[in-house]
Amino acid sequence: MADAYEVWLDQVKDALRSINMQMEDWQGIWSFDFDTEYKAGTNPDDAAMKANRFWWREQNKSLKKDCQKTPRCWLPRDHQGECQPLYERGDYVKVEFPDETTGIGEWMWMIVDHCDDQKRLVFGRLDNEPVNDYSGKVKTGSQMAVSYAQIREHKKLAEFRSKN
């Protein structure tokens, strides 16, 4: 009898086949972390879409045709419409918080929990102490929802680790 992960992975493969993406054709070239998606409780259709975007982004990068407008956008260079970046749980995004009183914005790091691509929002928690006074409403660890338009930089956790 197949274990739960194998059943889930078969459902992911079915979802990929439904959009003409054969896992066997792509996984050997650019390995997508299905195990992490399974452990995070991602449903098979969502995991298939994440893999699809990941593989397209990797292919565009390999052809030097990746989008230059927004970091980690999976669409090809000069695409139509808005960028569609790949923000995932545990990623870090640097967010600009405008100060309407002074006009001087503050940029702070936020750890991504999840995204709503349709509403173009990233949900997460603030990872540094604000310099500006937000009347105690914003502090390290504050839960936030920010627009894609406020994101100025994007890094994976591994990019913050020491190279020593």
Task: Print the SS3 string covering 80-92.
Answer: CCCCCECCCCCCE
Give SS3 for 4.
helix
Mean pLDDT of 105-125: 91
Q: Is the pLDDT of residue 154 over 70?
A: yes
Domain for residue 71, yes or no?
no
Same domain, 97 and 52: no
Same domain, 15 and 55: yes
What is the token pair recorded at 144?
A: 């936030």
What is the token pair recorded at 50?
A: 């994440």
Same domain, 155 and 105: yes
Between vectors from CA 149 to CA 144 and to CA 151, what angle results, nearest 5°? 60
The pLDDT-based confidence of 146 (bands split at 50, 70, 90) is very high
Q: Which domain holds residue 154?
A: 92-160
pLDDT digits (tens, 9 = 90+) for 7-54: 999 999 999 999 998 999 999 999 999 998 999 899 999 899 999 999
Q: How far apart are CA 124 and CA 70, in angstroms?
A: 19
Same domain, 98 and 156: yes
pLDDT digits (tens, 9 = 90+) for 48-84: 999 999 999 999 999 999 998 887 889 999 999 888 8
Mean pLDDT of 112-127: 91
* Nearest of 138, 148, 153 to residue 93 by alpha carbon: 153
Domain for residue 78, yes or no?
no
pLDDT digits (tens, 9 = 90+) for 84-110: 888 888 999 999 988 777 777 889 999
Domain for residue 30, yes or no?
yes
Q: How many independent structural domains does the chain possess?
A: 2
Q: How far apart are CA 99 and CA 50, in angstroms?
A: 35
Q: How far apart are CA 154 and CA 19, in angstroms?
A: 28
Domain for residue 8, yes or no?
yes
Domain for residue 80, yes or no?
no
